[in-house]
Structure 1
Amino acid sequence: MTSPWQRRRQPDDVPTPVAVAVSDYCRRAKAPAPAPEVREALALVAEAEDFRVRALTDAEPETSPLGPFAVVDILQGTPPALAAQRQACGYYDVVRELAHVRELKTPPPAPAVDPSIPTFATPPAAPKAATKAGKKADSEASVLERIAPKKRQAVDEETTAPPEAEEPSQFLRRDLPRPRGRFTRVEAPRTPFVELTRAAGKETLEAALAGSEHRFALLRNLSHRFNGSRGDLSLVDLETVLRDHGLLDALKEKERLQLVDAYTTQRGATGRVAWALGVSPPELQRLVSAAGLVEEVEALRERFRREALATPHLTHRLDLLGREKYLADLGIQRKFADALRKELERLLRDELSSASDLHGLADAVGRKYGAPSELVFRAIERLGLAEGLRKQLRASVPTSTP
């Protein structure tokens, strides 16, 4: 069985785009790592799993910190929260050493005997008395070696080669310095913000706008490639340069269409609209305000509130009762529950005489009004009507006289 921390390929075989994506993901997850460590972690992932690495790193980190070995751990099925805890307590530093130790367990093959090298004759045997003394001294030395404490030696990650690449034991590998100059692997630097303000920057912005639904997605795409006027690229910098190039109005119209479609599709649920667009609730409010859709969005939400409260079909109303988050998002959860409770009490009162228990009462109402009996029974329990109905059913049962 293959261990998850066993190397599948050499670090130099890791594709550069995958390594850059993991490095950027770790930077956004507040655990930046050097390029050699990133490639060393990706060497634990098979080449066929590179698409899963890209799918994970293209999204925003769910928690932090997450280093390259934490990314590999998440791909193996570990929850992101647990991987973040392991990253914070130094668990992956031990894993990194373990990956090297596993490679060093297999001893290197013995060097082949070169026939051109002359062999030397064995020395003559020692006298018998000297041999007995030597055996006694050797036995005492072996006992001392067995009971002596063993000292652990740290594995040098930079200078230790894999077993298949080790040289014969008589040629010791030197401690080489870290790579410098043109051999150093570093992340690509980000372009200064002034490049976006020039005429050539308009083409870059237009190409980025084609693949972004709104300004926050555009900001995430460009922040990996460009700096801002005062450090990281900010939304104010982006809006300023879009306004200077005459692209801000086109972006607002695109955002307006996206917001109206999302609110219509999600039936006015703000939380699901934010999830569909990939933004947080404060960012969604800013998008609605920037697009001038505050009144129109509120009108859409009011329309769906009236539809939820005035739904004539009992099955639809019972189904809406189970969607508590949607009703709470629209702000009508209590009002909807009170209205449905009154209507359900009236319907159950009419069928009370024809039922002997609560399940039979739910079946009678469901058959009469074309609603599933499971939804009716669940609504009775959720609206707090079960205890009162059981008392009424027990009181309506005639008692037998002796």
Structure 2
Amino acid sequence: MISPWQRRRQPDDVPTPVAVAVSDFCRRAKAPAPAQQVREALALLTEEEDFRVRALTDGEPETSPLGPFAVVDILRGVTPSLAAQRQECGYYDVVQELAQVREEKTPPPAPAPTTPVFATPSPAPEETDPKTGRRKSAKAEAAAVQERIAPKKRTTDADDADAGTPAAAAPQAPQAPDEEAPRFLKRELPRPRGRFTRVEAQRLSFFELTRAEGKETLEAAIEATEHRYSLLRTLEHRYNGPRGELTQVDMENVLRQHGIMETLEARERHNIQTAYASQRGATGRVAWALGLSPSELQRLVHALKLEEEVEALRERFRNEVLATGHLTHRLDLLGRDKYLVDLGIQKRFADALRKELERLAKDALPDATDLHSLANVVGRKHGAPAELVTRAFERLNLTESLRKQLSAQAQSPSH
């Protein structure tokens, strides 16, 4: 007799749309579960029951929490309220372990034979030789069939010339196929079972973190991370939450319970200040350096109440960029569009640099004959590479106006 908590198929054989529907249903039922756990639960059902799963998950949960094993239990006839009670008391954790133990004890299927077996044709009725009128023996008949189906060796004119015989010589004797030659045929191997099955590590209970020993674990995890988001990603793979997945609120409550939330905040504050200083106020590069998305960085700065300090740092770097007096440095900053856009000063910087280059080019016009020589004169007078000056002329749309001025200067009688 098959137990109701025994697999009817392999987890990998569960259709992905069905698994996604159950995962979304459990999320709405306030009991989100990892993908592997969803597939292990659906492996308890047959393919013919998938339509019942979709019919249940397409609607809204009647109660909560309901995990993937609770969904299977409801399809077996249990009421949703009873399934929710079983979910809260940890009944389905035992069910999952029971299903895994039963799967490990199930003997693996017999391996498929490595040597292919081909069906042999039924013996045909004996035939008579039309010349002699005698019946052919089985061996003679098999040899005749073999002679007809055996591959013929093609001969070339060169081979016939070497042999000294014409191409229409007597046919060669048929070669019998090499029956001992190895045949390598691809076959489908059985899926790993028992202790060879790859499964996710069993998550520990959330209450392990609330105990005194959990404080040491959290302190070690804080030392190895840079902020609360990376700490959550580290812990959610090892621990469950009180009601399913471990959330950021659950983690922060435990940190405050142990009195180490201030340690994490001090570490986050130091990392953010250092990153803004090293990236010269560029918010995008700060988020990239810390492994955060822009929205996560914004929420973290707000949680630490660092908005004024961060804005002061950014304003300091804005003033440094706009007040830079060395021409080479300003021409190099012109090519860093993303940095200028991040600081919000791209237009101000470009307008100021355009006015300065127009002034410098006007002073160098008498010593130049074309745009290339003009860039050389400006670069030589102010210690900047001519390539950067030429690029700045193009990016700031000064090329046409400067060419007109050079052309007018060449046509002037006084020149």
Q: Same fold (TM over 0.5)?
A: yes
Q: Are 2:172 and 1:158 equivalent residues in the alignment?
A: no
Flag the 1:344–1:399 CA change in 2: closer, same or farther, 3 A: closer
Contact kept in structure 2, 1:269 and 1:326, CA below 8 Å: yes
User: In structure 2, what is the equivalent of residue 235 of structure 1?
Assistant: 248
Alignment deviations for residues 305-362 of structure 1 (CA, whole Å, 9 cap, x no partner): 1111111111111111011000000000011101100111011011111101111001
Greater Rg over alpha carbons, structure:
2
How far apart in 2 are the matches of 1:179 and 1:269? Answer: 52
User: Quick one: which of 363, 368, 372 aligns to 2:385?
Assistant: 372
What's the CA shift for 1:179?
3.1
Q: Deviations over 1:176-233 (max 9, x none)?
A: xx634x6655332111212111222111101111111111111111111111223222
Matched, 1:361 2:374: yes
TM-score (norm 2): 0.56
Q: 1:399 and 1:346 mapped to 2: Cα distance?
A: 21
Any runs of at least 4 consecutive aligned residues in structure 1 with deviations exceeding 4 A, and if so which? 30-33, 131-134, 137-143, 182-185
Aligned pair 1:135/2:143, yes or no? Answer: yes
Q: What's 1:303 paired with? A: 316
Q: How does 1:247-396 map to 2 (within 5 A)?
A: 247-396=260-409
- The answer as to whether partners of 1:253 and 1:291 remain within 8 angstroms in 2 is no
- Secondary structure at the counterpart of residue 292 of structure 2: coil
| RMSD of Structure 2 on Structure 1 (CA) | 3.0
Q: Is the 8 A contact 2:371 2:403 kept in 1?
A: yes
Structure 1, residues 151-179: CA drift from partner, whole Å, max 9, x if none? xx8722118xxxxxxxxxxxxxxxxxx63
CA distance in 2, matches of 1:211, 1:348: 55
Letter of the 2:398 partner, please give it.
L
Pair 1:207-2:239 in alignment: no
CA–CA separation in structure 2 for the residues paired with 1:134 and 1:201: 80
- The CA distance in 2 between the partners of 1:399 and 1:350, in whole Å, is 17
Deviation of residue 368 (structure 1)?
0.5
Amino acid at match of 1:363: N
Distance 2:293 2:369 in 1: 51
Tell me, in whole angstroms, the C-alpha distance in 2 between the residues paired with 1:137 and 1:273. 80
Deviations 1:70-111 (A, max 9, x none): xxxxxxxxxxxxxxxxxxxxxxxxxxxxxxxxxx9x999xxx
Deviation at 1:390, TM superposition (A): 0.9
**Quick one: distance in 1 between partners of 2:402 and 2:278?**
39
User: What do the CA deviations read for 1:263-314 (whole angstroms, capped 9, x no partner)?
Assistant: 0111100011011111111111112112221100001101111111111111
Q: Distance in 2 between matches of 1:349 and 1:224?
A: 66
- Paired residue for 1:179, among 181, 193, 218? 193
Is this contact kept in 1: 2:36–2:200, CA < 8 A? no
Distance 1:209 1:357, change over 3 A: same
| CA deviation after TM superposition for structure 1 residue 32, in Å | 6.1
Aligned-partner Cα distance in 2 for 1:380–1:183: 67
Q: Alignment partner of 1:285: what SS?
A: helix
Letter in 1 for 2:189: E
| Contact 1:252–1:290 (Cα < 8 Å) also in 2 | no
Alpha-carbon deviation of 1:391?
1.3
| CA contact 1:212–1:218 (8 Å) conserved in 2 | yes
Task: Give me the whole-angstrom Cα distance separating, in 2, the residues matched to 1:198 and 1:364.
Answer: 74
Note the residue ranges of structure 1 that are not aligned, 5 or more in a row.
Answer: 1-29, 34-103, 109-126, 144-152, 160-177
Which SS does the other structure have where 1:224 is aligned?
coil
1:118-143 C-alpha deviation (Å, 9 max, x unpaired): xxxxxxxxx99636544334446779
* TM-superposition CA deviations, 1:25-71 (whole Å, max 9, x none): xxxxx9869xxxxxxxxxxxxxxxxxxxxxxxxxxxxxxxxxxxxxx
Cα distance, 1:249–1:132 mapped onto 2, change above 3 Å: closer
Task: Give 1:63's aligned residue.
Answer: none
Counterpart position of 2:211: 198
* In structure 2, C-alpha distance between the alignment counterparts of 1:233 and 1:183, rounded to whole Å: 28
Contact 2:282–2:343, Cα closer than 8 Å, also in 1: yes
Name structure 2 gaps, 5 residues minimum.
1-33, 38-111, 117-133, 152-184
- CA gap of 1:140–1:305, structure 2 versus 1, over 3 A, is same
1-side partners of 2:352 and 2:241: how far apart? 54
CA distance in structure 2 between the partners assigned to 1:391 and 1:290 by the alignment? 57
TM-score by length of 1: 0.58
